[in-house]
Structure 1
Amino acid sequence: MLLLVYLIRTGLNYLLVTKDIWPEAEDPTKFMELNHIIAVVLGELYVIGFVTAIKLVIDWSIEKKRNEDLAKLQMSTELKFLRTQIQPHFFFNTLNNLYALTLEKSDNAPRLVIKLSDMMQYILYEVKSSKASLLQEINHINNFIDIERLRFKDRIESEMDITGNIEDVYVPPLLLLSFIENCFKHGLKENDKLKIKMSFNLLNGYLEFNLSNNFNPNTARALKHGIGNENAKRRLSLLFSNNYALESKKDGDIYNLFLKIPVQS
């Protein structure tokens, strides 16, 4: 191709413009001399290298953007999939409990239907983005605890403490609820009460969430390997990379959890 370029370019110049095809040379140069061929080829190599560099940069930029879009799509798809893993057993248990209440003609059945409907509406229709109002999430947690309290009656005790203005704060949807679910999954013993304490503290653009509950030591292994915890860890890793803290420990029959994540206003 370089030889073809030389023949066309220099040949046309020689035939149509001037016989002096290399005026900057010390000695007159004829068409198709080796020195002239090398000089022209080197010049064309500079042009080809420059244009190739531009093309490679453009291709790299397009490929980089495509990979970023694919990564975002993959993250979004995985986050949606992780959300679908949340609460299926809870809904089934609640429906079974609702069936039992209807058989007993209990006055709690209509209340349970309303609360379950509110939760399903929130999960299926209102939570469609990567962030949700912290106030809504807390209301959702309270709704969840109320439903469980209808199931277990006076065996559920819960305390909540909130520090800071949470009205305009946004967090990943349904993230905190997975930890509350674990309290009921692993904390309820056969005839004992479940005691839950949680706190929300806003400090310097971060939300600090503390949770403690009594748990059944016989479920300690399940507590370590439950889907809920792995789900939450994976979501945190996808959303915040390393900009978060998640710690948990057991102190006797008390399970303590600490979560710190950046929040959006």
Structure 2
Amino acid sequence: MFCANCGKEIKEGMNFCSSCGGKIEPTNKVDNISSSENNTNYIDIKDIKNDNNSTSDFYMNIKGIKSRFDHGYNTMQGAVAIIFVVIGCAFWYIIDSNTPTVILFSFLICVIFTMIFPLVMLIIATKLNPRGVFIDMQNGVLIKNKKTKFNFLKDELHLKEVFAIQVKSFKIDALPCPKGTFKYNKNILLNTLLASGEFYKFTFFDKNGSPLLNIHLTNKNDRDKLIEALKMAFNTLGKYDVQMEVNNSVSRDFDELAM
């Protein structure tokens, strides 16, 4: 949760903010959402005390390798793999010799370009382009992946254009296997490779009901932090008519999650 006076994050159960000393007023906590099926909780945007000093910017890293449903990341990863596979195969093709040493050398080069280089470049690219959510509280601008080096991985959203937010929960067993066939809930490696596990999807809509932006998270605490930060941002903007819907019923539709 966040302090209504200064916007700083504070621990649950505290009566006063450790940053500004302001008294913490009780609010409707998102953590109390029922886990029953088809349960929908409508968040009251105005349940935070509006204060002109609450303009501290918000930033949160998006955790989890498997949560990379951003449109640009899949393109970047695919390009890295394809480029080096093509280079490796081309090198193997242009070598025309029956000498065992040359054949062995060509094989090693092919392995390097088709397996090792793509993995190394993928790790470097991921480290240079961290995923995250940034909110400029004063100007009401949300930037997804603000700290990335490549602009095509960033998405900017002006919160004044937002009229509704839908938060949905997903639980995927394993993909692309048939639903319920395999369960890898305790295997982190297979969860990562198969994009299985628990997910939370934020969808922002304009006044016509058209989706503007999607954000995918893999941590419930991060979901709650983002909800509180959005409430603070809309309060700072004086925009209280936004409908925020948190649907706690669990969906297993991967196609809907990945959109």
Q: TM-score, normalised to structure 2's length?
A: 0.30
What TM-score do the two structures reach when normalised by structure 1? Answer: 0.30
Structure with the greater alpha carbon radius of gyration: 1
